[in-house]
Structure 1
Amino acid sequence: MRPYTFASVRSVGEALGQARDGSAYLAGGTTLVDLMKLEVVTPAHVVDITAVPLRGIRADATGLFIGATERMADVAGHDLVAGPYPMLAEALRQSASPQIRNMATIGGNLLQRTRCGYFRDPATACNKRSPGSGCPAVGGHNRSHAILGTSDACVATHPSDMAVALIALDARLSLRGTDGERTLRLADFYRLPGSTPHLENELRPGELITGVTVPALSWARTSVYLKVRDRQSYEFALCSAAVAVNVTNGVIGEARVAAGGVGAKPWRLPGVERALKGRPMRLQTFEAAVAHAADGARPLSHNAFKPALLCRTIIRALVHLAG
């Protein structure tokens, strides 16, 4: 790990005052510290924001608000989350390990970096880490990599489970920078790699995520997060699905569907949602609806199974909701 300076702050204003070129914010640290040890990221200045009052979980008629430094485990078990938004609670519970969930924060989870092995190895090329150096995953080991939203410059998969559920729920981020506050849909926050995979999101220099708002959605109680992975715990998704349906008299009125483990960012599937709407809640409907779920996919040498796995994962989630 390279030398760095360190500051601990107690307010958003102090945090923003410490931000500078080459600095990083530290909350739970479960991603940042790992990457600093590997020298994948090398901030010259680290700002500890654990004492900044960015906590709180509350709900009203407009929706659910979660502070950015709330711990993942606390959010997953909260009554305002587990009952009204089971897909979000399940996505959190299926993330990482109990030890990490007790430390990691909501804001940090949304900003975690890809788990691509090439990105995490400074001895190899990686366009995310060193723009223009190449993407060895394209022709290398790529079983866990993305098939949707990729480019010739990067095929890394977005790692967050929670972000998939939040994308399905159309969540918004509250952001605070030196030029004031703003809100942004999470769906608009993440960037596709294109020719600039090192630019992963729309966060401005020094800006902080201060909270997440999930719009009120009464029928989100009928939702599920299904994660397919190589082992049951402490493993990233090969494919996942966050699905919610509003069913009346056996007919789907509305649906929300998003996928993880397959996209360069959490992947909303509006085509599947439209195909479900107005159709009976049964297997034939599900099979027809997922027919185009993997449209535009670019499978690689080791992950050609993912388009089929994506369709089967969504169907399985819908079957679960159908009972």
Structure 2
Amino acid sequence: MSTTVAKNGVHIATSMREAAAMLADLGEAGEAIAGGTWIMRAPDRDVPAHRQYVVLKHVPELFGVSVADSVDIGAMTTHTELGGIEAGPALSGIRQAARESAFPQVRNVATVGGNIRAIGFAEADLVPAMLAARARLELTSPTGTSEEDIGDYLATRHSRPAGELIGRVRVPAPKGRASAFERLTVRATGEYPIVNVAVSVDIDDSVVRDARIAVGSVEPVAKLCVSASQALIGHRLGDSAAVDAAGVEAAGELTSREGLDAPGWYRLAVLPALIRRAIARIDLSSA
């Protein structure tokens, strides 16, 4: 069956394979649409609208969440659904990010895959949470299916293969891992964050054996702060000196963007406090 589509319009896909083929046929004129929250803001971002859209809401492979040794999340899972999943402390940071992002009306339709895929969206809340949680993406393109670390994907979003789609997100949830998320806005919840921070730690005998601190909304793309993460390793999670060192290291690893919401220097100035608050939210009781 041919997957060639017309030159104008909205096209309904019913499988991952069909959606990937449609997008490949459309090329630069086409875009996948899920919740549509980022696409609707294209005029505000001075981005021209695409002429063709491939609708994903009828693709069954993109839905559902399963919880086992890892948590498997369909890319069409909404922020509201993600915030309500029953999973262990390894997923706490992701749940918190999903619950605290944007407004309820947006959370009800904005999707996991769309948040990760949104190029130019420095403030995306799920991205640092997924990055800290070691998420891996299942990707489908016209040539097949593959899996990739989210950090590698973020670094190459501008040059992904034609027709590629995020199908599922897999987050490992081993025993002893816990996480948390924090964000800072100008005035109130619901706004885009000036800074958002996610922290994931592996605890053994009350000591941090591994850590990942990811920061969003400071640079154009969320970043894993390696030196800041290493500052926590070998210490108890509540060690104030180690936590303070992590904040200083994180600020030194980032080159802050300027914005109408906040100047670059301010993002870096508040970052240590956000890291401290995120670490204080980590619940080790069930890790």
Give the structure-2-normalised TM-score: 0.85
> Is it true that 1:291 corresponds to 2:248 in the alignment?
yes
2:71 is matched with which residue? 64
Among candidates 218, 233, 239, match of residue 277 of structure 1: 233
Among candidates 103, 109, 122, match of residue 97 of structure 1: 103
Deviations along 1:105-164, whole A, 9 cap, x unmatched? 11111122435xxxxxxxxxxxxxxxxxxxxxxxxxxxxxxxxxxxxxxxxxx2211110
Range that drifts further, 20-29 or 38-47: 38-47
Change (3 A) 1:299 1:258: closer
- The one-letter amino acid paired with 1:306 is R
Among candidates 245, 255, 266, match of residue 305 of structure 1: 266
Change (3 A) 1:234 1:319: closer
When the two chains are superposed, the root-mean-square deviation of aligned CA atoms in Å is 2.4
Alignment of 1:32-47 (within 5 A): 32-35=39-42, 40-47=47-54
2:189 is matched with which residue? 233
> Shift in Å at residue 217 of structure 1?
2.8
User: Is the CA contact 2:123–2:194 (under 8 Å) kept in the aligned structure 1?
Assistant: no
Deviations along 1:168-191, whole A, 9 cap, x unmatched? 011111111111111111001113
Give the structure-1-normalised TM-score: 0.76
Change (3 A) 1:270 1:312: same
1:169 is matched with which residue? 133
SS of corresponding position for 1:85: helix
User: Is the CA contact 2:139–2:164 (under 8 Å) kept in the aligned structure 1?
Assistant: yes
- The one-letter amino acid paired with 1:13 is R
> Shift in Å at residue 322 of structure 1?
8.0
SS of corresponding position for 1:109: helix
- Count residues in correspondence: 269
Change (3 A) 1:74 1:319: closer
Among candidates 207, 210, 226, match of residue 254 of structure 1: 210
Change (3 A) 1:298 1:255: closer
User: Is the CA contact 1:26–1:48 (under 8 Å) kept in the aligned structure 2?
Assistant: yes
- Whole-Å Cα distance in 2 between the matches of residues 28 and 48 of structure 1? 9
User: Is the CA contact 2:128–2:223 (under 8 Å) kept in the aligned structure 1?
Assistant: yes
2:275 is matched with which residue? 314
Q: Which runs of 5 or more residues in structure 2 are unaligned? A: 1-6
User: Is the CA contact 1:239–1:310 (under 8 Å) kept in the aligned structure 2?
Assistant: yes
- The one-letter amino acid paired with 1:18 is M
> Shift in Å at residue 249 of structure 1?
4.8
1:217 is matched with which residue? 174
> Shift in Å at residue 289 of structure 1?
2.9
- The one-letter amino acid paired with 2:170 is T
Alignment of 1:198-213 (within 5 A): 200-213=157-170
- Whole-Å Cα distance in 2 between the matches of residues 252 and 167 of structure 1? 18
- The one-letter amino acid paired with 2:86 is D
- Whole-Å Cα distance in 2 between the matches of residues 36 and 286 of structure 1? 41
SS of corresponding position for 2:251: coil
Identity of counterpart residues, as a percentage?
A: 26
Change (3 A) 1:17 1:255: closer
- Whole-Å Cα distance in 2 between the matches of residues 270 and 10 of structure 1? 41
User: Is the CA contact 2:218–2:254 (under 8 Å) kept in the aligned structure 1?
Assistant: no
Among candidates 21, 34, 55, match of residue 17 of structure 1: 21
- Whole-Å Cα distance in 2 between the matches of residues 312 and 44 of structure 1? 44
> Shift in Å at residue 4 of structure 1?
4.1
- The one-letter amino acid paired with 1:96 is A
Q: Which runs of 5 or more residues in structure 1 are unaligned? A: 116-157, 192-198
